[in-house]
Amino acid sequence: MKEKSKEEFYTQKRWTNWMNKVKESKFELTDSEQDATGAVFVYIMDDVVLACLKVIARKEKNLITQEEAFAALRIIQEIVSSEHESLGQDADMMLESLQTALFAVFISCQRYLEGDYDQQTRLADLVEQARQAEGEERIDDCLGLVGSLGARVIGGEKLPELPEMPYSMVAELMDGVDAIAAAMMGDDS
């Protein structure tokens, strides 16, 4: 009888390939947002989000255990959070922003799997509460609120239209939740 092979959801090689694409793009912040060099960051985000959602789908189909799901998410998070050589000042700034957004994805997936998240508060109110928590430097509370929001999006709730947010940690985290929402709708953001 063939032993069940351990599934790899994301690999260091895959991440390294993306970092090489960023380096090759010679990304600069002066580029317009529609520029192809900036698109690589959107593709990276989508790739990681889809890997995380694949972990959740496998868990929901009982193809992996809860412990295996958490372990897989931890591996993905370790890969995308690892130190890397400089890709250029502008690209490094974008990568840091991407990693912050992806942190929201990881915490959302974790909260969803645990079932430990606010299921009552209006989604728009969770965003406002997260912004308030950030302003009061209650970072753990801020992350928990965004995690609840993301978990609910994973659970099938539609992200409401939100007003444009000034640059902040919450705004970056919401990029991750937006990417989850797009992936859940099958959108190829």
Question: What are the domain boundaries of the chain?
Answer: 12-22+35-184
Determine the pLDDT at residue 187.
47
pTM to 2 decimals?
A: 0.90
Burial label for 188, CB within 10 Å (0-12, 13-18, 19+), is: exposed
How high is the pLDDT of residue 35?
A: 61
Query: CB within 8 A of 141, min separation 6: which ones?
Result: 130, 133
What's the angle, vertex CA 70, arms to CA 127 and CA 169, rounded to 5?
Answer: 25
Angle made by CA atoms 83, 95, 20, in degrees to the nearest 5: 75
- Contact call for residues 10 and 1 (beta carbons, < 8 A): no
**139 and 112 in contact (C-beta within 8 Å)?**
no
Q: What is the pLDDT of residues 119-159, one digit of tens each?
A: 999 999 999 999 999 999 999 999 999 999 999 999 999 99
- What average pLDDT does the structure give for the chain? 90
DSSP 68-103: HHHHHHHHHHHHHHS------HHHHHHHHHHHHHHH
Per run of 10 residues, the mean pLDDT along the chain (length 189 residues) is 62 95 85 65 95 97 96 97 88 93 97 94 95 96 96 94 88 95 72
The reported pLDDT for the residue numbered 188 is 42
Distance in angstroms between the alpha carbons of the first and the last residue of the chain: 42
pLDDT in the model for residue 97: 93
pLDDT score, position 118: 92
